[in-house]
Every structure is written in C-alpha cells, then in structure tokens.
Amino acid sequence: MRKVSTLALLISFFATSVFANEVNVFSARHYDSDIQLYEKFTAKTGIKVNVVSGKSKALEKRITEEGTDSNADLYITADAGRCGAFKAKGMLQGGLTSASIISAVPKNFRTSQWVGIAKRARIVYFAPERVSGAELAGLTYESLADSKWKGRLVIRKSNNIYNQSLVASLVKNNGKGATADWAKGVVSNMARTPKGNDRAQIMAVAAGEADIAVANTYYLALMLSGKKGAEQQEAAKKVKPFFPNQDGRGTHMNISCAGLVKGAPNKANAIALVEFLLSPEAQEHIVNNTFEYPMIAGVSPHPLVVNMGLDFKQDLKTKVVNYGKKQADALEVMLAAGWK
C-alpha cells in the first residue's frame, strides 16, 4: 500500500509540475503574429501556450463533442456573434472578471464569459469618382436600402458572420420587421450575387463593378500594406472609406473575442493570458500586425488605420452581446429577402 501511495504522490507531483504551467488555446484567428504574442507571454510567465488552430465551426464542434474530456481553456475567434452563440450552447463559463480585465474592456465589449481583445469597424467603401459627397452625406446602414444605390452595392453572402452581426445590430436597434424590409432593399440594390471575402468587395468597387461596398476596416489597411500583393494594393488605393451613422448611434463595431471554456483545466492560466492580451505591450503587437483597433485606451492603431480616420463616432450604445442573441433573427430576415 505504501508503494501505491508513493506512486500516487509522484503522479500528482508530475501532473502539477508539468501541466499546471500551460494553457490550451483553440483559435480561429490565423495570424502568425498571434503565435509570436503567445511566445512573449510564455517568456514573461513561464506558462506554455498550446495552440489548436482551425475554422470556428470545426473548433466549436470539437470542443462540444469532447465535452468534459476537452482540454480547451480559451476559445479565441473573430466576431462577438460567434462567442455569443457558443455561450448560448453552454460551452463557456464565468471568470473573466478580474479588475484588470474590467478596467481594460468597456462594458459593451465584454461579459463574464468572453471579452473583446481587439476591435474592428464594418464600414462602407466608395469609388470617389462615381460617388458624390452629396450622396454620402448622412449615410447610414439603414440608407443602404435606398433606391439610389440600386445596382451599385456589393456585400458578402448572408452566411458570413460579419454580415450576420451587422444585421443583428439592426434588428436590435430597429426591430425585426423594419430590418426585414431593409434587407429586401439591400438585395435589390446589389450589383451582383454576393461572392468572395471582404477584400473581394473592395476590389469590385476598384474595378468598377460597383460603386460602394461593405467590409471591415482592417481589410483595406491589409491591402494597402502590400501584404496581399501589388494588385490588391493598387485596388485599395482606388477606394475611400466612409464611416456610417455618424449623426446617430455611430459606426457598427465588432470584436475579436476570447471565451473561457467550460471545464477549462487551466482556468487561472487562461485568465492570465487574457489579462496579458489586454496589456499595452500585447495590444500594440496586435494592432500593428492585424490592423485592428486596440481594445484598450492609450494605444494607437497602425498608421494605415490612423490614415483612415480616428475621429469617427463608434456605436458604443449597442452591446455586442446582442449580435449572438439576434443572430437567428438576422439570418432569417436575410434569407427571406433572397440574400444569397
């Protein structure tokens, strides 16, 4: 019995010494710069970061199916709608409530189970030689359904989470019925059947296939940086950004978010990693590599993002938790409108 007891103690010691100093991140963010950031965290804390990368749906499916056997600590993905939907499935837990997290993240960008680690705006891009200042004056997301934009608008498919969250915000602010009518107007204004990613929408405007496009802010900066090649860089130079709803609630904001997985085996380390991601050092690393906006105050975005304008009014009224809550309604009205 003594040998068994000693063995048990040795196993316990081994597990504590080897596994307590790690954190398992399931990430749908595909940035090499994120890996570099995790390496900085390890250098500072001694906590090893194990990363499982994949598409959001695949990662969520794996975590859900593994259940109590999952070793996932943090789920990191783009879009509050995804974090909200995963929370609704009961796959996240509370705990992201430390003083440093609460002080760093504005309340409309966090819950106790998931928090924003970077921001992005979903805005309108236009061809300056074909869209007049008068047409842009007072432009809102709602006015994208106006008949003056008929045949002039490009936007991604209805199954795109960024669009679903944008439409969910409209459902929250304007009601489902009004948003259903709006979606019909948007579909009638499309210059083509939705296809491609956000960069494809910007390129369509640059090529003259449409006059305006809807896309996230960091895509234009990414194209302008030259990281996607000379063709996309030149296309990006042909369009201009416009921030909608400046006379009202402000421009639609979304986030990259980190969620604390239910049953996380390394909960304390996961919280420590989130706190690190919200530090000035980490925020500067994020914005200078992904072209997102910082989540915390006191950090400047990348110069290419600064050049797009920083004095725009952000929608701080609409809590991003509503993007998950209204996701089903958003998809329903888009599909009913014939949004492919």
230 and 280 share one domain: no
pLDDT above 70 (res 16): no
Contact 200, 192 (CB under 8 A): no
312 within some domain: no
**pLDDT recorded at residue 20:** 65
313 within some domain: no
Contact 138, 284 (CB under 8 A): no
39 and 65 share one domain: yes
Average pLDDT, the chain: 94
pLDDT above 70 (res 33): yes
Q: Which residues have CB under 8 Å from 307's CB, separation 6+?
A: none
pLDDT above 80 (res 85): yes
What is the tens place of the pLDDT at every residue in 48-67?
999 999 999 999 999 999 99
* For residues 85-96, average pLDDT: 96
Instruction: For residues 151 and 148, give the distance between their C-alpha atoms in angstroms, rounded to a whole number.
Output: 9
What is the tens place of the pLDDT at every residue in 191-216?
999 999 999 999 999 999 999 999 99
Q: Which residues have CB under 8 Å from 41's CB, separation 6+?
A: 47, 49, 273, 276, 282
296 within some domain: yes
Residues of 195-233 as b/e, b for ≥16 C-beta within 10 angstroms? Answer: eeebbbbbbbbbeebbbbbbbbbbbbbbbbeeeeeeebe
Domain count, the chain: 2
54 and 25 share one domain: yes
Query: Strand 212-216 vs strand 153-154: parallel, antiparallel, or unpaired?
Result: parallel
What is the tens place of the pLDDT at every residue in 217-244?
999 999 999 999 999 999 999 999 999 9
Q: By three-state DSSP, how is residue 92 classified?
A: strand
What is the tens place of the pLDDT at every residue in 100-116?
999 999 999 999 999 99
34 and 75 share one domain: yes
pLDDT above 90 (res 5): no
Q: Among 104, 47, 98, 52, which residue's Cα sits nearest to residue 75?
A: 52
At 30, the pLDDT band (50, 70, 90 cuts) reads: confident
63 within some domain: yes
Residue 220 has which token pair?
Answer: 């234009």
